[in-house]
Amino acid sequence: MSVAGGLAKSFERADALGCESMQIFTRNQRQWKHAPLSFAEIEDFYRASQESGVKRVVSHASYLINLAGSAEMRERSEEALLAEVQRCGQLGIGDVVLHPGFAVEGSSEEGLEKIAASLSKVLKETDDCRVNILLETMAGQGSSLGDDVTQFSRLLDIMEDDPRLGFCVDMCHVFAAGYELRSSESYSRFVSVLSRQIGLYNVRCWHLSDSKMEKGSKKDRHAHLGQGEIGLAPFAMLMGDERFAEVPAILETPKDGCGDEGNLAILRKLRGA
């Protein structure tokens, strides 16, 4: 949801669409530097949240952050993530979605160890904060980490199941990574993988979009629901899955064409609302 004109404006836009949850950027996601939040911004955001029908707000961390990168990159990334968690704490936002990173130096295992060390550092420095960090499943393009759910299982092991570490499952990304979703059997299999590897209680957000690319393409190309290679069946199954009834589900579909209004209408029809 756009925050043009001020963070609090996002609630007005979300309410106009009848949203129950929304995702925002609390700052410019493509720049390292950012101004601290003013008291007025925090107060306006809180007041808008109290007047809104939106039940859950999720933040998406900067795209620049790479906790698996070089020493210099990790230092800048840790500072940016720390600032984001603190901003969310000030705004009363409980979850920050984060791309795991790119293992540009060394193996995937070394990259995971770097991510775990950086996450542990940020979580420790914000141990008085209730904000969770949700690592997002990725499509697997290049040296990106997070396309294999077992990597998240490994992170949980390294971090000893830190309760503030959770996960965001992106339907387009997992399909592009090679997970089949298009039948009731394959959907059930995939959810079983999530349950076995990370625990369903750790799935704390969903990103919803169809995929322009075929299964296993490793390419992140989002499409309107029902207009890509995934089709509507998996979204219908997710909408009817009581295990995720209270988990925020965020549209990341294109803004052109039928837009958010059209995609939300599809989800509501699939849910039977």
Give the domain ranges of the chain.
9-271
CATH code 3.20.20.150 for 9-271: yes
pTM reported for the whole predicted model: 0.97
- pLDDT at position 257, please? 94
- pLDDT at position 267, please? 97
- pLDDT at position 34, please? 86
Q: Does the pLDDT at position 14 exceed 70?
A: yes
Q: Which residues are catalytic?
A: 30, 60, 63, 99, 136, 170, 173, 207, 220, 222, 252
Residue 160 has a CB neighbour count (10 Å cut-off) of 9
Q: CB–CB of 177/140 below 8 Å?
A: yes
Tell me: the pLDDT tens digits for 105-157?
889 999 999 999 999 999 999 999 999 999 999 999 999 999 999 999 999 99
Tell me: the pLDDT tens digits for 72-112?
999 999 999 999 999 999 999 999 999 999 998 889 999 99
- pLDDT at position 263, please? 98
Q: Is 36 exposed, middle or buried (0-12, 13-18, 19+ CB in 10 A)?
A: exposed
Categorize the per-residue pLDDT at 30 as very low, low, confident or very high, splitting at 50, 70 and 90: confident
Q: Does the pLDDT at position 208 exceed 70?
A: yes
Residue 201 has a CB neighbour count (10 Å cut-off) of 11
The mean per-residue pLDDT over the stretch 185-199 comes to: 98
72, 85, 1, 104: which is closest to 37 by C-alpha?
85
Cβ contacts of 196-199, under 8 Å, gap ≥ 24 = 197/149, 197/150, 197/152, 197/153, 198/149, 198/152, 198/153, 198/156, 198/167
**Mean of the per-residue pLDDT values for the chain?**
97
- pLDDT at position 234, please? 98
End-to-end Cα spacing for the chain: 22
Residues comprising the chain, all counted? 273
**Sign of torsion over alpha carbons 70, 75, 76, 78:** positive
- pLDDT at position 33, please? 87
DSSP character for 243? Answer: G
Categorize the per-residue pLDDT at 273 as very low, low, confident or very high, splitting at 50, 70 and 90: low
